[in-house]
Structure 1
Amino acid sequence: MDKSYQVIVIGAGAAGLMCGATAAAKGKKVLVLDHANKMAKKVLMSGGGRCNFTNLYVEPDNFLSHNPHFCKSALSRYTQWDFISLVEKHGIDYYEKTLGQLFCKTSSKEIRDLLQKECQHAGASIQLKCEVNTIEPIEPTEENPSRFKLTTNIGEVDCNSLVIATGGLSIPTMGATGFGYQVAQQFGHKIYPTRAGLTPLTFSGKQLEEFKSLAGNSIEAMVSCKDQSFKEAILFTHKGLSGPAILQISNYWLPGEPIHINLMPNVDIDSWLAKNRAGHPELSLKNCLAKVFSQAVASYFCQLLGINCKLKQLDHKQTAQVVELLANWTIYPSGLEGYRVAEVTLGGVDTSEISSKTFESKRQPGLFFIGEVLDVTGHLGGFNFQWAWASGHAAGSSL
């Protein structure tokens, strides 16, 4: 490992590798380093091992931030189509799963290999098992234009531009730490409080015991919290509820708030119930619900209602109760499963002191922040990777 570089990127994940390859392609001497023993660990585990690397329908509205306008510039300058072109250039086969989500047909290793090859081709060096102990700002001179000196477990290095691409706190077993936030605070940046995002909801007491008996059952539903709604699957688990719609709403839910679930979002429930009552008056409510849900789930909802008579026996009050439950099942989670399984970290470095064009700190010349460490979080479905590509490319292009 050489001692001096024009650019050092801390974090060999999606954003860091994209930034390193982009800067090196411009002729910069680049080092990408990481404390982990493997690069792009979250890339490797994402999408069930097939990496949901972007989405066909990327819009600024797919991102959460205290400054919703911050993401617009980078996303417009490096789009999903740009990354798809890169995937195609490397001969990677991919497919659309649902809702514009693009996955590798074979393995997420192909995206990791793409990033590694782009760095190698451009001449960016990658150093793993390298722990940064201290970062010290230094006064640049004509002889030595470096602005930062880093002490690491394998020696000292210095650089003119330092890029923090260390990610957030999600999935600590894969090496996630708060290092990036510590660097930001060292240089006077504000950090918005962090919390786990895209994570399952947990329940307690009697409701948890009931959910345990339903573990493995899934339902296509519309899940809402405050003014946000997502129509995808929900999944009963031994700890509560998961599935895409639940992960999405977890970004918006706060403890004590209700979550509303329309269990039949594609159906006029009043008309559906009336039609079944007219056509099958002898059918029990449970067996009617079992046309849509599993027997176990149908039985659970009948128990919640305290109703399981024949359809012809439903009075007006009971009919209204059935419709209300199916259209607006209201639940109160006890918490989140947390960082252990969270796909992202909400909050992070305040973007008001970061350039939306270059991603350079407005407080410390030569210091850049990209990817998940920033207060920008995407929805489930490839949006967080697209943010990594876009922010990494924007910073790398400006170096």
Structure 2
Amino acid sequence: MKRYPQEKFDAIIIGGGACGLMCAVQAGLRGKRTLVLERNDRPGAKILISGGGRCNYTNLHSAPANFVSANPDFARAAFSRWTVEDTVTFFERHGIIGREKVLGQLFPVSNRAKDVVLVFTKLMRQYGQELYLHSRAVSVDRLPKGGFGVLYEQEGAERYAVADAVVMASGGLPVAKLGASDFALRIARSYGLEVVPTAPALVPLTITGKDAAWFAALSGNTVFSRVYNERINFEENILFTHWGLSGPAILQISSYWRPGETITIDLLPRHSVAELIRQEREAGGRRLVSQLLHEFFSRKLVEALGGLLPLTVKVASLGKADAKRIAEGIHRFTVKPAGDKGYDKAEVMRGGVATHELDPQTLEARKVPGLYFGGECVDMTGWLGGYNFQWAWSSGYVIAQAI
């Protein structure tokens, strides 16, 4: 059997993303010595690209209700121990002042995601924590006398480290070019932990078949809409693309959509088409329905809707049946996506290590003392808008208090 030079730490953290970095810093604050293994050439790869490089680092309204999970309430314990207020205070203390954009989304006033990463790299140096880049974990094994041994590859060489605890903070399956990996899920399964089936989430949806050309012709058009299904609804912009639908409202609903299902879009959620028609009639009804809709939609969208609905009729001449058909078509525009754009276009992964396998107070695996799971690899998927970062910070913190 090969023998590797051994390094000893209090904890080995696999993954230098939001959860792993927060865990290392908070553990360092407690006097613990940790090693963070990061397979990329720099830490915080997903932090750096989030929010278009501006980093929406939390949401002021974060709560279990904003998460998709077999048990969303599982997050309550972590959120009570590291709150949104704790996140805001932590970053303010280290020079990052937040500015709320919309819907509780908080961004650094500098609009630079790299400033967020810099907070952690500075603190890790200050607390003497180790960060190994270009380092890919290969295996996590329990040692006969307690603790764990982690085999990892670093720039072509195999190395070995041991620790009392191991923290799986290696994220999920999006995005391959950023080092996405199912390593945490494989480790969980190898220790007999249940993994909730995974799928891309916060992801654009595709349209194929006879409707594909209609959507492609509208590529680049955005419209504020209410998108809903039997489970939930969201009011934000949708974006037509040459392959289907994207935009915030679509990304949100994608986490609640399953293949084969339909979604419904209210293209004019703040108005009633029936009421607009009634008002136009009272004013004489001389305009075409299409002219009425130009006040709310782009020319291209009105033309496209005109291929589906009787819009080239004067409002005064519009019959009851056609008026109802137009209102239904705009307020209940039904779409059956063919699929989604996959992990490389997804913001996050749905599913992951089942929450019932973990202690909610510490995120330690109940069956494997000393083994912890945090961040995206856990079955806790937040909405778009900073919720997933809040889960990462909170889960990293509570793990650090336990290791």
- Which category describes the TM-score, using the shorter chain as reference length? over 0.9
Name the residue aligned to 2:212.
208
Structure 2 counterpart of 1:119, from 119, 124, 142: 124
Name the residue aligned to 2:139.
134
Q: Secondary structure at the match of 2:140?
A: strand
Q: CA deviation at 1:20?
A: 0.8
Counterparts in 2 of 1:50-129, with a 5 A limit? 50-106=54-110, 107-129=112-134
> Within 2, Cα distance between the matches of 1:74 and 1:18?
13
Structure 2 counterpart of 1:377, from 374, 381, 385: 381
Question: Does residue 152 of structure 1 match 2:152?
Answer: yes
Question: Does residue 393 of structure 1 match 2:403?
Answer: no
Q: CA deviation at 1:12?
A: 0.2
Q: What is the CA deviation profile of residues 187-233 of structure 1, one whole-angstrom value per residue up to 9, with x for unaligned ones?
A: 11111110000000100123221111111111111100112000000
The alignment-based identity, stated in percent, is 38
Name the residue aligned to 1:237.
241
Provide runs of 4+ in structure 1 moved above 6 Å: none
One-letter amino acid matched to 1:359: L
Structure 2 counterpart of 1:271, from 271, 275, 280: 275
Question: Does residue 316 of structure 1 match 2:326?
Answer: no
> Within 1, Cα distance between the matches of 2:49 and 2:69?
25
Q: CA deviation at 1:97?
A: 1.3
Q: What is the CA deviation profile of residues 30-58 of structure 1, one whole-angstrom value per residue up to 9, with x for unaligned ones?
A: 11111111110000000010001001111
> Within 1, Cα distance between the matches of 2:96 and 2:89?
10
Q: What is the CA deviation profile of residues 104-157 of structure 1, one whole-angstrom value per residue up to 9, with x for unaligned ones?
A: 2321001111121222222211111112222221122xxxxx511112224111
Q: How many residues align?
A: 394
For the aligned residue pairs, the C-alpha RMSD in angstroms reads 1.3
- Is the deviation greater in 8-17 or in 152-161? 152-161
Could you tell me which runs of 5 or more consecutive residues in structure 1 were left unpaired when the two chains were aligned.
141-145
Could you tell me which runs of 5 or more consecutive residues in structure 2 were left unpaired when the two chains were aligned.
none
Contact 1:287 1:295 in 2 (8 A): no
> Within 2, Cα distance between the matches of 1:398 and 1:138?
20
- Is the deviation greater in 275-284 or in 216-225? 275-284
Contact 1:135 1:150 in 2 (8 A): yes
> Within 1, Cα distance between the matches of 2:278 and 2:36?
64
Name the residue aligned to 2:329.
325
Name the residue aligned to 2:226.
222
Q: CA deviation at 1:75?
A: 0.8
Question: Does residue 33 of structure 1 match 2:37?
Answer: yes
Structure 2 counterpart of 1:49, from 43, 49, 53: 53
Q: CA deviation at 1:27?
A: 0.8
TM, length-normalised to structure 2: 0.95
- Is the deviation greater in 251-260 or in 112-121? 112-121
> Within 2, Cα distance between the matches of 1:2 and 1:81?
40
Q: Secondary structure at the match of 1:3?
A: strand
Contact 2:6 2:162 in 1 (8 A): no
> Within 1, Cα distance between the matches of 2:151 and 2:12?
13
One-letter amino acid matched to 2:44: A
> Within 2, Cα distance between the matches of 1:227 and 1:153?
44
> Within 2, Cα distance between the matches of 1:121 and 1:62?
35
> Within 2, Cα distance between the matches of 1:239 and 1:93?
38
TM, length-normalised to structure 1: 0.96
Q: CA deviation at 1:253?
A: 0.7
One-letter amino acid matched to 1:8: I
Q: CA 1:312/1:195 → structure 2, altered by over 3 Å: closer, same or farther?
A: same
Name the residue aligned to 1:199.
203
Question: Does residue 16 of structure 1 match 2:20?
Answer: yes
> Within 1, Cα distance between the matches of 2:284 and 2:173?
53
Contact 2:40 2:133 in 1 (8 A): yes
- Is the deviation greater in 366-375 or in 28-37? 28-37
Contact 1:50 1:105 in 2 (8 A): no
Q: CA deviation at 1:269?
A: 2.6
